[in-house]
Chain A
């Protein structure tokens, strides 16, 4: 493999120093002079008509600067996908879930704002509650949204090949049902924002968001501002995982309050509000029918999925497509039929979370494949190897596997876990399981229909040539995009890591669709690489004219100009540089011409030295309805082996070992790639074993805390043997593609398959709590 100076290494993250010292600033750490604090009035009822709102007492409370309801905010509808804009800033006629926003207050401090909220009087008329998606669908059920009389928010019907005909030819067919529970993103930083509207009519919104671009568009549209007057910027963000990938209520409310009061307004969710706002993983009800031949060849898959959407659409339109399309790979599957339904219910809206829409389908199917392997008397790992797609294969739903190291992943985990020595040979109570998965490396299309670039980047050299400023609107939410993009810029130009200073996550820096669908390494990376190469070429061209040496006879490495054909006299350039910077501490020295000196020459000729990069995927194929959800320039893939111990008396499950191989195309930062793998697996462990949002009969979340909504702790997670596979993706910068989401795909089913191996029990309802497994073991023992 080619040697690189910067990329493919283990450089520390650019923001690590600030984060370990407490210097890093997140939104709620910031204050503005004269800042007001906002608070929300949210519905205590899950479904009710609003008869009357009286804000007069709140308005009279000293310290209150503004009180707003739908009357002041207007009723412009918004959401994630323009096809389903179904939210307004505040509820107008009715409330649809406990937590639905009715009014807001801006006051001089938070205590006053909260007190004012408590003084707002609302009279409700309760409506019938719909908490079960199947009840919501029934004839005669009350409509949660008037435009959707059956409460079906979206439905998808796709067929590739001919499933019914294909099933007739199969030797073995089985159908299984599978269900998970509504989950929470459980990022550590609650959403927060500060809106500042100035006298020139400019709105600056600082927010803990994954997607400054989409927030900018939504805020401008809903508040009726020219889009150029809205700037959205993010400081450090404490995790996102999907739920922070679209505009939220407080971003809109704080902006509105700032516009009306002329003062900065801060709003921050409490942890309970994070759970109520939600927009995290849906509850899915899958029914999968798979047909195979005796030799294990996969022939057909029928997938029927019902999703509990909650009160609003959020990302749901995409989710309902992903619930089908993400089973199109990684196995060769000629026939696939999908019927997906997303229902409105009176619960917090569900949206996108790591592995968007595909995680539960994957869990269901990979467990079913395990059952099929057993029925056919095959090793489940061999069944997978037999059906595995290879580089260049195209799925029945038109996904092009332009690189695909799936076989290498499977072989790596087989050998890395000791599969052959363990499978079928472990004592009762110990089990081993395998599963595979894949994911998009960036959505091929923006959320709104547009010819927009998906990522732009700008690299500007300082006049002294010593600092390379990288500007990108990409969002580092902890996953490390600032680091990866800095490394890419340094590599493309040929300078040192520390010479590049990254500024990111700001709509003023360009367009970037943001941190979702595992897109930034590939897409933002392309733009940055292009911008770096542009700058490099500009500097070399000027230098070429100046020194009369052809560009192709020069190179830039580690911040030094390499003259391929031997020594060049650059003493004139050096003495001029030193003369101009007399008194500075960083005068160039040594036998080689530095990039800094060369860049200074470019500055003399151009004044401004800026490199530009912009990226959008080309034509990705797929002409059928819904092809926009799932087509991507590249696909990452992974395989995992999990080993568990089960206490056969109590049902307590311990994860002993996890072996994970992920094909990320090419690892820009190897430590970051492992971090994404380990973090994904940890989220998968939580979803498999603990995580479940619970509701009471009135639709209230009863466990909106980390005490009662359990995520894995340091004692729950084992060490992960993380194996990086590099397949060199032709559509990725330096061959790179995703790792952030694909790595979660196999985790849940590998755990389920290991639990079966340990106990002989197939659990088809998540999470597999000790109680659930204990009851299942008890049931089995009865038989």
Chain B
């Protein structure tokens, strides 16, 4: 039996009928046509599906869509302000923090969540905040540099 739920995604309300076993990843990607959220493992191991749920980064593959009923969700599609990139996104572009890009949406959201709570993180704090987001391409260095640089930009 499908349930009607309300999802508040990127400041927009959606009313959707979902089967109770569908994950937030599936509903975002397939029902709301927001495929920026990636599915890398479907087990909560890789972090590619990270979204911000009520101010906390979560693996959306481990959240049932019905659990997100009436809650605030930020996906990668909601990070930029129209054509203007968020400072984290801008820093990712400039620092070469993107290779294949499959981990990038999750990385950006984990970083955003960190910088919203901690304006001036140390390198270790950045690495800790990103440690649930796997990247096989970059060795993380340029991602960490980008987040550090974004934190400086955002302080200004």
Binding site for B on A (CB under 8 A): 10, 12-13, 15-26, 28-29, 185-190, 236-239, 241, 270-271, 477-480, 671-672, 674-675, 678-683, 705-707, 711-715, 717, 719-720
Query: Please, which residues of chain A bring their CB within 8 A of the CB of B127?
Result: 714-715
| Cα A271 to Cα B49 with chains together (Å) | 14
Cβ of B48 and Cβ of A188 under 8 Å apart? yes
- The smallest C-beta distance from B96 to any residue of chain A, in angstroms, reads 4
Nearest neighbor of B92 in chain A, beta-carbon distance: A20
Q: Which has the most chain A C-beta neighbours within 10 Å: B80, B101, B140?
A: B101
**Which B residues have a C-beta under 8 Å from some C-beta of A?**
29, 34-46, 48, 75-77, 79-80, 85, 89, 92-96, 98-105, 108, 126-128, 130-144
Q: Quick check: A29 and B35 within 8 Å, CB to CB?
A: yes
**Which residue in A13, A29, A241, A715 is a CB contact (below 8 Å) of B98?**
A13
Pair B143/A714 contact, Cβ less than 8 Å: yes
Nearest chain A residue, comparing its CB with the CB of B138: A679
Are A17 and B93 in touch, CB under 8 angstroms?
yes
B136 and A29 contact, CB distance less than 8 A: no
- Measured CB to CB, the closest approach of chain A to B12, in angstroms, equals 15
Is B100 a contact of A21 with CB atoms below 8 Å? no
Closest A residue to B86 by beta carbon equals A20
Flag if B139 contacts A720 (CB, 8 Å).
Answer: yes
Closest B residue to A683 using CB positions = B136
Partner of A21, one of B35, B46, B89, B128: B89
- Say yes or no: A239-B136 contact (C-beta < 8 A), given A188-B102, A671-B96, A678-B141: yes
User: Are B29 and A705 in contact, with the CB atoms below 8 A?
Assistant: no
Q: List 30 A-B contacts (CB under 8 A).
A: A13-B96, A16-B93, A18-B101, A20-B85, A20-B89, A20-B93, A21-B36, A21-B76, A21-B80, A21-B89, A22-B79, A22-B105, A23-B36, A25-B35, A188-B40, A188-B135, A188-B136, A236-B102, A238-B102, A239-B102, A271-B41, A271-B45, A478-B102, A679-B138, A681-B139, A682-B139, A705-B43, A707-B44, A713-B140, A714-B133
- Beta-carbon contact of B103 and A188 below 8 Å: yes
A672 CB contacts on chain B under 8 angstroms: 96
Pairwise interchain contact B144-A12, C-beta atoms closer than 8 A: no
Are A717 and B139 in contact (CB-based, < 8 A)? yes
Residue contact A19 to B98, C-beta cutoff 8 Å: yes
Q: Is there an interface contact between B134 and A675, defined as CB atoms closer than 8 Å?
A: no
Docked Cα-Cα span, A217 to B128, in Å, equals 45
By a CB distance below 8 angstroms, the chain B residues around A26 are: 38, 102
Query: Quick check: A239 and B131 within 8 Å, CB to CB?
Result: no
- Is the Cβ of A189 less than 8 Å from the Cβ of B102? yes
A601 to B79, CA, bound (A): 44
> Does the CB pair B85–A714 fall under 8 Å?
no
Q: Are B79 and A188 in contact (CB under 8 A)?
A: no
B48: chain A residues at CB < 8 Å are 188
The contact of B134 among A10, A188, A190, A671, by CB within 8 Å, is A188
Residue among A185, A237, A675, A680 facing the most chain B CB atoms (10 A cut-off): A675
Contact A189 B100 (CB under 8 A): yes
Contact B140 A20, beta carbon cutoff 8 Å: no
Which residues of A have CB within 8 Å of B37? Answer: 22
For the complex, give the distance between the alpha carbons of A408 and B37 in Å: 44
Does the CB pair A20–B108 fall under 8 Å? yes
Q: Would A679 and B99 be within 8 Å (CB), given that A271-B43, A715-B127 are in contact? A: yes
Chain B residues closer than 8 Å to A707, beta-carbon distance: 43-45
Contact B140 A714 (CB under 8 A): yes
User: Once the chains bind, are B89 and A705 in contact (CB under 8 Å)?
Assistant: no
Bound Cα distance from A578 to B132, whole angstroms: 55
**Nearest chain B residue, comparing its CB with the CB of A480:** B99
A706 pairs with B46, CB closer than 8 A = yes
B46 touches A478 (CB 8 A): no
Cβ of A241 to closest chain B Cβ, rounded Å: 7
Q: From residue B53, how far is it (CB to closest CB) to chain A in Å?
A: 17
Give the docked Cα–Cα distance between A479 and B96 (Å): 11
By secondary structure, the A interface counts as loop
A479 adjacent to B99 (CB under 8 Å): yes
Q: Tell me the complex Cα distance, A612–B133, Å.
A: 42
CB pair A679 B41 closer than 8 Å? no
Of B37, B94, B141, most buried by chain A (CB within 10 Å of CB) is: B141
The interface residues of chain B lying within 8 Å CB-to-CB of A190 are: 40
Contact, CB under 8 Å: A239 / B42: no
Q: How far does the Cβ of A640 sit from chain B's closest Cβ, in whole Å?
A: 13
**Apart from A12-B96, A29-B29, A271-B43, 7 more pairs, CB < 8 Å:** A20-B108, A22-B77, A22-B105, A189-B40, A675-B96, A705-B43, A713-B131
- In the assembled complex, which residues on chain B have CB atoms less than 8 Å from the CB atom of A236? 100-102
Cross-chain contact A675 with B138 (CB below 8 angstroms): yes
Residue of A nearest to B46 (CB): A706
Which residue on A lies nearest to B140, using beta carbons? A714
The docked-state distance in angstroms from the alpha carbon of A163 to that of B2 is 73
What are the residues of chain B within 8 A of A22 when measuring CB–CB?
34-37, 75-77, 79, 105
Q: Out of A17, A28, A717, name the residue touching B140 (CB < 8 Å).
A: A717
- On chain B, the residues within 8 Å of A680 by CB distance are 139
- Assess the A713–B93 pair: CB atoms within 8 A: no
Cα–Cα distance between A681 and B142 once the two chains are bound (Å): 13
Report the minimal beta-carbon distance from B26 to chain A, rounded to whole angstroms.
10
B39 (CB) vs chain A CBs: closest residue: A28
In the bound complex, residues from chain B placing their C-beta under 8 Å from that of A681 are 139
Contact assessment for A711 and B136 in the assembled complex, using a CB-CB cutoff below 8 Å: yes
Q: Which residue of A lies closest to B21 (CB)?
A: A111
> A777 to B43, alpha carbons, bound, how many Å?
36
- How near does chain B come to A476, taking the closest CB pair, in angstroms? 9
User: Is there contact, CB below 8 Å, between B79 and A21?
Assistant: yes
Chain A residues closer than 8 Å to B140, beta-carbon distance: 678, 682, 712-714, 717
Q: Is the CB of B89 within 8 A of A679?
A: no
**Chain B residues within 8 Å of A15, by CB:** 98, 101
Instruction: Chain B residues near A480: list those with CB within 8 A.
Output: 99
Contact A711 B96 (CB under 8 A): no
- On chain A, the residues within 8 Å of B99 by CB distance are 239, 478-480, 675, 679
Shortest C-beta distance, A220 to chain B (Å), equals 28
**Nearest chain A CB to B89 CB, angstrom units:** 4
- In angstroms, Cα B101 to Cα A404, docked, is 32
With both beta carbons as reference points, the residue of chain B lying nearest to A686 in the complex is identified as B136
Can you name the residue of chain B whose Cβ is closest to the Cβ of A706? Answer: B45
A23 to B38, CA, bound (A): 12
B40: A residues at CB distance < 8 A: 188-190, 238, 271, 706
Tell me the minimal C-beta distance from B48 to chain A in angstroms.
6
Asked whether, in the complex, the Cβ of B130 is within 8 Å of the Cβ of A238, the reply is no
Residues of A within 8 A of B133 (CB): 714
Known contacts A21-B36, A21-B89, A682-B138, A188 near B96 by CB under 8 Å: no
Shortest CB-to-CB span from B27 to chain A, Å, is 14
- A25 (CB) vs chain B CBs: closest residue: B35
Q: For B135, list chain A residues within 8 Å (CB).
A: 188, 714
Judge whether B128 and A715 touch: CB under 8 Å: yes
A-chain residues with CB within 8 Å of residue B96 when the two chains form the complex: 10, 12-13, 671-672, 674-675
In the complex, the chain B residue whose C-beta lies closest to that of A240 is B100
List the A residue with the shortest CB-CB distance to B100: A478
Asked if A679 contacts B98 (CB within 8 A), the reply is: no
Q: How far is the CB of A168 from chain B (nearest CB, A)?
A: 45
The residue on B at minimum CB distance from A483 is: B96
CB distance from B105 to the nearest CB of A (A): 5
A715–B131 contact, CB under 8 A?
yes
Contact A21 B85, CB 8 Å, known A237-B100, A679-B99 = yes
Q: Are B139 and A678 in contact (CB under 8 A)?
A: yes
Q: With A and B bound together, what is the CA distance between A675 and B139 in angstroms?
A: 8
Residues of the A chain whose Cβ atoms lie less than 8 Å from the Cβ of B104: 19-20
Distance from B70 Cβ to chain A, minimum over Cβ atoms (Å):
23
Check B139 against A188 for contact (C-beta < 8 Å).
no
**CB proximity of B115 to chain A, nearest CB, Å:** 15
| B residues near A185, Cβ cutoff 8 Å | 136
Q: A31: shortest Cβ distance to chain B, in Å?
A: 8
Q: Which residues of A contact B39 (CB under 8 A)?
A: 28
B142 x A678 contact (CB < 8 A): yes
Q: Which residues of A contact B46 (CB under 8 A)?
A: 188, 706
Cβ A238 vs Cβ B43 within 8 A:
no
- Minimal beta-carbon separation of A583 from chain B (angstroms): 24
- Whether the Cβ atoms of A705 and B45 lie closer than 8 Å is yes
